[in-house]
Chains A and B, each alone.
Chain A
């Protein structure tokens, strides 16, 4: 019997593992792994596969903005309406409804600060129901997707037998 949570953890930590490798690691057959992955995809539990890239190294000029949006909820549609519209933009990499002093947290990636400012003023602020926005630019990434950037921990273990 395959443990789907354990399978998901394996895939989340390393999406490049083959079905055969995961089958070995979970002590099940390769067919079981493939069937389970299909089920998880069909149920939209697995949504896609991506690679974690340190873009600061490859394209250091990329800009990321975290945009707080305050909204007056629209009757019968609540917050979902605006959230869904904003989520359609490709460069919006994340959109969350949050508790606290504002309502939506938008993560937006583009080439320059100006691009992000334009998106805020032209696409967000103009939406009906948006009361205000506050934009934070990310200056440096220390940890993302559970991975510490520039992790200094190297294997320094001594080759001793004890």
Chain B
């Protein structure tokens, strides 16, 4: 009853606050009546049937045991083929690929395999909320580089270079970006490559979960495509976003054997292996589902244009996103903070979106709107957004 928890908890865990906007989501869940949610960071599509069927068949055939620690060889081969086909890069199924429990495990494995206490990790913000947390849990020190809307939220070479110190262990980049929808082209990455070549000790974690959701040319562009960086780029990727497979919890790491083997050690002791049935689904996805990706990408692209038009009609400035399924408009003209804006929009118009400051301090003054939602919901939400912003302006 009176156990004293003081001093019992890890400092590293305690310094990470619970999600600051938990309250906001509890409010959304408690609200009566119809709430339109443009807040969710996962596809609204159900996983394509052949992929689900492959998972089911694996159960029927009795594949209910542990897989090898790195994942089934057939699944690693299928991923290796996929990377060759879509990226033009070569990773051996034998030692350069590790199948993980979603992309999230990959972020954690990289942090735990690389960081010694006090090492700095450059985190490019605004970004996925897990980057900073995984670094802190591993006793690292996150160093923020803030990207800007006027640069299309791209990472600028000079901004990266200014943040690199002798303590920098690795940098985390995530493009196409959550929450801004920004993409980096191969030319953009070439500038980053040049910086990295001047700093030969710095490793890169490239989070490419949204790699297939690129509306510029539909092709993944990545630092892994520069062979001169091959020894120090770790790709964290997965099937959740591109293939609408979030619930399968399966992703992968692709990188040099020396790094992947250390991460495999952690994975082996802490996770054992990714779910077997999900790996069978992945074989089908990686081998036979390119057409499904394109179908979903085309539909997201239609919705993306509707959102951009809606934001413009509502009078909100928004940098044009070309990736993922998010728009990140500025709400500074309303005079409200991001959290105030989202809370009032939810209470007054019953539409849930996410305050930009959840993704880093530089996200203040912005909101994240997801278009992983039905076209009808998006259209209705855009009408309500326009009304809401007009009401605010009238005061």
List the interface of chain A (C-beta within 8 A of B): 6, 10, 14, 21, 24-27, 153, 155, 157-162
**A10-B298 Cα distance, complex, nearest whole Å:** 11
By the criterion CB–CB under 8 Å, are A159 and B29 in contact?
Answer: yes
Min distance, Cβ A30 to any Cβ of chain B, angstroms: 12
Give chain B residues whose Cβ lies under 8 Å from the Cβ of A25.
Answer: 302-303, 305-306
Q: Would you list which residues of chain B between 229 and 254 have a CB under 8 Å from chain A?
A: none
Residues from chain A with a CB closer than 8 A to the CB of B129 are: 161-162
Alpha-carbon gap, A162 to B25, bound state (A): 12
Closest Cβ of chain A to B151, distance in Å, is: 23
B26 to chain A, nearest CB (A): 9
Q: Which residues of B contact A157 (CB under 8 A)?
A: 37, 40, 42, 44
Does B1 reach chain A (CB closer than 8 Å)? no
Of the candidates B104, B306, B352, B379, the one whose C-beta lies within 8 Å of that of A159 is B352
Count class of interface residues, chain B = 20 to 34
| Closest beta carbon of chain A to B133's beta carbon, Å | 10
Q: Given known contacts A24-B306, A159-B352, what 10 new A-B pairs fall within 8 Å (CB)?
A: A25-B302, A25-B306, A155-B44, A157-B37, A159-B28, A159-B40, A161-B19, A161-B25, A161-B41, A161-B358
Chain B residues near A158 (CB-CB < 8 A): 40
What residues of A have a CB within 8 angstroms of the CB of B352 in the complex?
Answer: 159
Residue among B44, B303, B354, B379 making CB contact with A161, cutoff 8 Å: B354
Tell me how far the C-beta of B243 lies from the nearest C-beta in chain A, rounded to whole angstroms: 16
B56 at interface (Cβ–Cβ under 8 A)?
no
| Complex CA–CA separation, A56 to B19 (angstroms) | 48
A162-B130 in contact (CB<8A): yes
> Measured between alpha carbons, how far is A24 from B41 in the docked complex, in Å?
24
Closest to B28 in A: A159
Write the residues of chain B forming the contact surface with A, with a CB cutoff of 8 angstroms: 19, 21, 25, 28-29, 37, 39-42, 44, 46, 104, 128-130, 298, 302-303, 305-306, 309, 352, 354, 358, 375, 379
Q: Do A21 and B306 touch (CB < 8 A)?
A: yes
B320 to chain A, nearest CB (A): 11
* Cα–Cα distance between A153 and B128 once the two chains are bound (Å): 28
Q: Are B44 and A159 in contact, with the CB atoms below 8 A?
A: no
Whole-angstrom distance between the alpha carbons of A132 and B326 in the complex?
59
Chain A residue at smallest Cβ distance from B35 = A159
- Residue pairs across A and B with Cβ atoms less than 8 A apart, 30 shown, are A6-B298, A10-B302, A21-B379, A24-B305, A25-B302, A25-B303, A25-B305, A25-B306, A26-B302, A26-B305, A27-B305, A157-B40, A157-B44, A158-B40, A159-B25, A159-B28, A159-B37, A159-B39, A160-B25, A160-B40, A161-B19, A161-B25, A161-B39, A161-B41, A161-B354, A161-B358, A162-B41, A162-B104, A162-B128, A162-B130
A161 touches B21 (CB 8 A): yes
Complex contact B309–A24 (CB within 8 A): yes
Bound CA–CA A148/B379 (angstroms) = 24
* In the bound complex, CA of A159 to CA of B40 (Å): 6
Interface centre among A14, A24, A159, A160 (most CB of B within 10 A): A159
Q: Give the A-B pair count, Cβ closer than 8 A.
A: 45
Please name all residues of chain B whose beta carbon is closer than 8 Å to the beta carbon of A27 when the two chains form the complex: 305
Chain B: minimal CB distance from A43 (Å): 24
Give B219 Cβ to nearest chain A Cβ, in Å. 18
Residues of chain B within 8 A of A6, CB atoms compared: 298
Inter-chain contacts of A160 with B (CB < 8 A): 25, 40-41
User: What separation, in Å, do the CA atoms of A50 and B41 have in the docked complex?
Assistant: 35
**A161 neighbours in B (Cβ, 8 Å):** 19, 21, 25, 39, 41, 129, 354, 358
Which one of B21, B303, B305 has the greatest number of beta carbons of chain A within 10 Å?
B305
Complex Cα–Cα for A155 and B128 (A): 23
B241 CB to closest chain A CB (Å) equals 12
Instruction: Give the complex CA separation of A161 and B130 in angstroms.
Output: 10
What 4 A-B pairs come out closest when comparing CB atoms?
Answer: A25-B302, A24-B309, A159-B25, A153-B46
User: How far is the CB of A76 from the nearest CB of chain B, in Å?
Assistant: 44
Chain B residues with Cβ under 8 A from A10's Cβ? 302
Q: Which residue of A lies closest to B372 (CB)?
A: A157
Q: How far is the CA of A13 from the CA of B163 in the complex (A)?
A: 49
Q: Could you tell me the distance between the alpha carbons of A21 and B375 in the complex, rounded to whole angstroms?
A: 10
Once the chains are docked, how many angstroms separate the CA of A124 from the CA of B219?
A: 55
B298 CB contacts on chain A under 8 angstroms: 6
Shortest CB distance B171–A (Å)? 21
B110 shortest CB reach to chain A, Å: 17
| Residues of A close to B19: CB separation below 8 A | 161
Chain B neighbourhood of A155, CB < 8 A = 44
B186 CB → nearest A CB, Å = 23
A159 and B370 CA atoms in complex are apart in Å by 12
For B42, give the chain A residue with the smallest CB separation: A157
Give bound CA distance, A70 to B149, whole Å.
68
